[in-house]
Amino acid sequence: MIVPISRSSLQSLKAETDEKTRLINIENFTKVLYENAIKQASTSTESIYRFEIVVFHPGVTSTFVNDNKDDILRILQKLFPDSIVEYKKLIKHIQAMRKGGYVPPVYYDISTVDQHILPLMTGNIIVDCIVVDWS
């Protein structure tokens, strides 16, 4: 059956569709972060999960995450109520490979690093991250 639709409904249809898509993408994205943090907590002694914003997921870009970080953080804070959930700039220090194999990167919170030392920290990458800390 074909249903009549008003002009005002037609005018708002694109915005409504875009908002539904945005909310679905936020839900899917936060689900991935939630599952990754749970997986890390169950398989590692590391008590901080860092999601680098430069990593892309289907339908979600770094611009999307930056534009929606308040909503994303609010949802994650509800999912991890007594953990610290933050959006941070971190310095990612890639360590040299050791004889035993892969060495995970070390992260430093850029806000806690002395500004005079920053120029000396060459070979590091500054990354935007969503951090869940249950330590």
User: What are 17-66's pLDDT values in tens digits?
Assistant: 999 999 999 999 999 999 999 999 999 999 999 998 875 556 567 888 88
Answer whether residue 5 is part of any domain: no
- Residue 94 scores a pLDDT above 70: yes
Please give the mean pLDDT across all residues of the chain: 86
Q: In what order do the strands lie in the sheet with 125-133?
A: 48-52, 125-133, 84-93, 106-109
pTM over 0.85: no
Q: What are the angstrom distances between the C-alpha of 114 and each of 25, 84, 133?
A: 37, 23, 22
Per residue, the 3-state secondary structure of 26-52, as one string, reads HHHHHHHHHHHHHHHHHHCCCCEEEEE
Answer whether residue 32 is part of any domain: yes
Q: How many domains does the chain have?
A: 1
- Residue 99 scores a pLDDT above 80: no
Mean pLDDT of 111-127: 70
What is the percent of the chain where pLDDT is above 70?
82
Answer whether residue 1 is part of any domain: no
Answer whether residue 64 is part of any domain: yes
Burial call 77-107: b when 16+ CB within 10 Å, e when fewer: eebbeebebebbebbbeeeeeeeeeeeeeeb
Interatomic CA distance for residues 5 and 12, integer angstroms: 11
- Residue 97 scores a pLDDT above 80: no
Residue 57 structural domain: 14-133
Q: How confident is the model at residue 3 (pLDDT cuts 50, 70, 90)?
A: very high
pLDDT at position 80: 98
